[in-house]
Amino acid sequence: MTQQARPRLRIALTEVVRMYQVGGQAVRALDGVDLFLDCGQFVSIVGPSGAGKSTLLHLLGALDSPDSGSITFDGQEIARLGDDQQSEFRRHRVGFIFQFFNLLPTMSAWENVAVPKLLDGVKLSRRSPTRCDCSTWSASPTAPSIRRPSCRVVRCNGWR
C-alpha cells in the first residue's frame, strides 16, 4: 500500500507563550502551545471562557505577538514581520469575522467588505457584486460538487 502524500504544512505554533498582567498578577493565557495545521484542514477551537481561544486567534492573525515561541505561516515567521508586513499579511492571507462586526458605520455592508481591495488600490464598480447561483448545489454528502472538509476540534483548556 502506498502512502498518500500529505498536504504541505501551512500553520505551525511551537512552544508559544503569551502572558498578560491582570491586577498586578501575571496570567499565562497560552503556556507552551504546540499546534500544527495542514493545508485544507477545518479546525474548531473550543473551550471555556478564559482558556485562551481569543488569544490564540489574535496571535494566528498577527494582531498580537507571542512572548516566546514561534508562529509560522507557510514557513514565514509572522511575529518577526514589521508593522507594514503584518498589515499586508492580514489583508492578503487571513480572514477575520469578529464577534462584533466592527463595520464602518458610514459605509454599506458591501463597501465594508470591499475595504481590503480598496486599500490595495483596486477600483471597484458601484454596482452590486454578481450574485451566486446556489440552485445547482447539492446537499448530498456524495455529490462531487461539494467537498466535505475534515474537521479537527482543538480543545482549549488553558493551553497548559
In order of 127, 129, 135, 137, the CA distances from 132 in angstroms are: 15, 9, 9, 11
Would 120 be classed as within a structural domain? yes
Structure confidence at residue 56 as a pLDDT band (50, 70, 90) = very high
Considering only residues 75 and 5, tell me which one the structure prediction assigns the higher pLDDT: 75
Overall domain count for the chain: 1
Counting DSSP H helices and E strands in the chain, the numbers are 3, 6
Would 3 be classed as within a structural domain? no
Which structural domain, as residue segments, surrounds residue 50? 9-125+149-155
Would 133 be classed as within a structural domain? no
Would 105 be classed as within a structural domain? yes
pTM over 0.85: no
Q: Each residue of 66-116: pLDDT tens digit?
A: 999 999 998 889 988 999 999 888 888 887 777 667 788 888 887 887 887
Would 130 be classed as within a structural domain? no
Question: Which CATH number belongs to the domain containing residue 114 in this structure?
Answer: 3.40.50.300
User: What percentage of the chain exceeds 90 in pLDDT?
Assistant: 24
Would 99 be classed as within a structural domain? yes
Enter the C-alpha cell of residue 19: 502572558
Would 1 be classed as within a structural domain? no
Identify residue 74 by its one-letter amino acid code.
Answer: D
Structure confidence at residue 33 as a pLDDT band (50, 70, 90) = very high
Enter the C-alpha cell of residue 140: 448530498
Structure confidence at residue 157 as a pLDDT band (50, 70, 90) = low
Would 113 be classed as within a structural domain? yes
In whole angstroms, what is the distance from residue 9 CA to residue 75 CA?
8
